[in-house]
Amino acid sequence: MSSSSEPKAPSLKPWLRLRRGLEHDFGVVKVREDKVVDPRTQQEHPRVRMDCADWVNVIAVTKQDALVMVRQFRFGIDASTLELPGGCVEPGEAPEVAAARELEEETGYRAGRLESLGAVHPNPAFQSNQSHVFLALDCERVSDGHQDDGEDIAVELHPRADVPRLILEGHITHSLAVVAFFMEQLRADARR
């Protein structure tokens, strides 16, 4: 028996792509349907793939221990959501640079310190990108922000201690925001 506490991953064969489908470019995402072969059964299956830029999400905390959050309309659910500031990593841009840029563009706040909490795959079943999570501390408002065309964002401040309640009561429902707060908690627990 191994002395490592990590479970041994089973060895899986890759699914080979037989045919690459026609790509549809929607600006923020490229979508295509490929034909792949199951390595276990050798049967062909269609699989959708969505190629997106990497994303950043920022847990922004002011010197007064308030969270800087954003509320914006989301077309997938036809409703507004309470979320973390964030957005796309531009081509050639480092994730930490994107995090600082998106925070300031969306909220007008600038971080005194920026710390990476890690990255997750939003949905590896069909998405290729990662979402990078950052903790921005000692944030101060430096402008009114510079929202992109197509953005209509309201900035809200919430007490940091309210995060569990905001999640459990369904005020924060965006899964990547919930994951970001979980990653922050895991990092804090590991430091103790």
55-62 vs 131-141, strand pairing mode: parallel
Whether 33 is catalytic: no
In SS3 terms, the chain reads as: CCCCCCCCCCCCCCCEEEECCCCEECCCEEEEEEEEECCCCCCEEEEEEEEECCEEEEEEEECCCEEEEEEEEECCCCEEEEECCEEECCCCCCHHHHHHHHHHHHHCEECCEEEEEEEECCCCCCECCCEEEEEEEEEEECCCCCCCCCCCCEEEEEEHHHHHHHHHCCCCCCHHHHHHHHHHHHHHHHHC
66-74 vs 154-159, strand pairing mode: antiparallel
Residue 65 φ/ψ region, left for φ over 0, alpha for ψ in the -120 to 50 degree band, beta for the rest: left
Catalytic residue among 106, 151, 156, 169: 151
Residues recognised as catalytic: 151
